[in-house]
Amino acid sequence: NSTCVDNIRTIFGASIARELLEIEHEDKKLSYKVQGHVTNANYSMKKSVFLLFIN
């Protein structure tokens, strides 16, 4: 029973998992809901990575 952050920690490491912020938005008029995680301004990498998973 691992969480999304646990899975991110396993794949990308503890340093990125510590800097995650959860985002969530729902628009009933347009019938959509978005959930995700982004790193805060304290985290930086030499190479940028954008990962999008749609379920």
Tokens of 36: 């995700």
Residue among 25, 24, 26, 5 nearest 16 (CA): 5
Give pLDDT, residue 42: 78
* pLDDT of 17: 92
Q: pLDDT by residue (tens digit) across 1-55?
A: 899 999 999 998 998 899 999 999 999 999 999 999 998 887 777 777 777 777 7
Output the pLDDT for position 44: 75
Tell me the pTM: 0.70
Closest alpha carbon to 50 in 24, 22, 18, 12: 12
Q: Can you list the positions of beta strands (E) in 1-55?
A: 20-27, 32-39
Enumerate the β-bridge partners of residue 33: 26
CA distance 6 to 13: 10
